[in-house]
Chains A and B, each alone.
Chain A
């Protein structure tokens, strides 16, 4: 492993500060680490509901189920699509409304307005607007675009998950928008000004300075949104199809199954979910380490 002297110094701080920092990090991570250890013990039948009724074979049985991978794939698809749409939206809004005029400030305020709305409330709203008996379907019917509200294409409980994707995009965009506004306000003007003073045209500044700056600054937020959406339960429970059954729903279904012996399956699924989220974090670290400002 190659380390620059500076990287080494920053990565491993010495003395008391390092000790306290490590303890603090451990205190934060402890519930997750304990949870993962408990889930691992539950997965092989040492602890938890239905303990003793299965061994390591449970792990392979669960992981060889088509429904599990279909559910995991579906959850990743929804997470990727809504994170991509929310990121794109946040970038567009941040670039378009970055000034200090009244219009720009209003636009930024409106963008972050959905931030305090709970996910469950957003999902209920999504069902009421996007469902086949929802506002959109009734409006389209009233305007004569469709013969009956039921003719509206299914957006809730649909196999592609469009209703859920749109709802989660609407809910996550304000968070990413807030990050984007901060990144641009803190570092944008100086770097853009430097590029322009070196003769870069407006589009070049956007392409080579503003967008890379934004994406790099937003990356931790993007990873957080992706991991959150992949594991989110409430909105998924209200809007996702019954097949494929999203990973969080499948996990809960097994954890509350009538047959006690089946509940241990949920621990395997929890580990799978944690593994997928961890992969996103690892990917983020890899991207950070590769970039010109790998340590920033």
Chain B
């Protein structure tokens, strides 16, 4: 049907105006100050520059406990102490990389001042030159970091070189329900036997946590992590990969749904566990079981489990994008997040249960005592066990290749 000329014209003008505004907004350019410029400033001047500004933090927002900590505990304190408004937006590591690549191509103003990353993402960001820095050693709280820990100071075997600041430390654990599984397996061999004897009751997810589980299998089936340390080695990888995939293929039929389906993410695996469809789930955070029980998502009898061959421990970090509009604000936020106060709160089992990256020996006495007095949930794994069974991450290429080979060889059904 033909519309009157006036109506058509108005609609068209409005649409054109929207398109023009969108283009103009996307193309505004604000170049952040050079890292060297900021690095030469005394810390109080950096804080003064940050005061009254807004910091946009792009982070994974898939866990309500983490969101509550950030929004209800961190944000109000930043506002109160530094007059900083914290704006938290969603974005997992790979999405952060993609967004920054596109922003760089467009010459667009950055949308985030701070990003939450791990080694895999750090590798990509450094490869593409998408991080601002170095800055991490400039923040006062960096003096408390556990610099003797290879797990904190080496991110997937990479030297952070001041381009990211450690934020938390976690260790992989399987999670089981002791009411359903009173005698859980303690080694990879026992796990294999358990899966064979309980068909349909075990699976892993397809995302980062699932691939970490596959890497743990690879270490265990290839004589230990030592075979993979010191950078990526194709021969070592192929040997480890073949053993891992053979292990999986040998018991594919005993996996949940006969190995014909895998949960997309660890949240789906958690749901299957909570609903009793499988007897194990897994987490990159050994304390997640505690928070999930307290949230009422897991049964009271859920427990974490370490395999005696060891499980992967790693740290997670904060980075500042190359085009961050407010890097000084981001540094102030990162400093606060690394402070003993924020690290202690984050480590509380009822808050998040995320391990600290600080070395208690470097802390002032009152803080050291408070860390020592940190509530120990009865379900939590003892610190000495965690330390004894902690294995480091290896070069990110192992993660990339194993994920890809699993998708090509194990996931397909009948092709």
Contact = CB atoms under 8 A, between A and B. Distances in A.
Counting chain B residues whose Cβ lies within 8 A of the other chain, the interface size class is 35 or more
A258 B400 contact: yes
Given A13-B2, A48-B102, A259-B404, A157 B261 contact: yes
B105 interface: yes
B94 A257 contact: yes
Contact of A66 (B9, B98, B268, B415): B415
A276 interface: no
A20 B12 contact: yes
Interface in B360-415: 396, 399-401, 403-404, 407, 411-413, 415
Contacts of B12: 20-21, 23-24, 27
B101 A48 contact: yes
Interface in A226-253: 237-238, 241-243, 245, 249, 253
B40 interface: no
B29 interface: no
Contact of B411 (A13, A27, A66, A242): A242
Contacts, number: 112
A36 interface: no
A132 interface: yes
B105 to A, nearest CB: 6
Interface string B1-12: 010010011011
Interface residues of A, number: 44
Contact of A159 (B272, B411, B413): B413
Contact of B97 (A49, A133, A158, A249): A49
Interface string A261-292: 01100000000000000000000000000000
A127 B16 CA distance: 42
B92 interface: yes
Interface string A1-25: 0000000001001001100110110
Interface stretch (B120-128, B303-311, B336-344): B120-128
A203 interface: no
A67 interface: yes
Contact of B98 (A16, A157, A255): A255
22 contacts: A13-B2, A20-B8, A23-B16, A24-B11, A27-B12, A27-B15, A27-B16, A49-B98, A49-B128, A70-B415, A157-B261, A237-B264, A242-B262, A242-B411, A243-B411, A243-B412, A256-B95, A257-B403, A258-B211, A258-B400, A260-B97, A263-B94
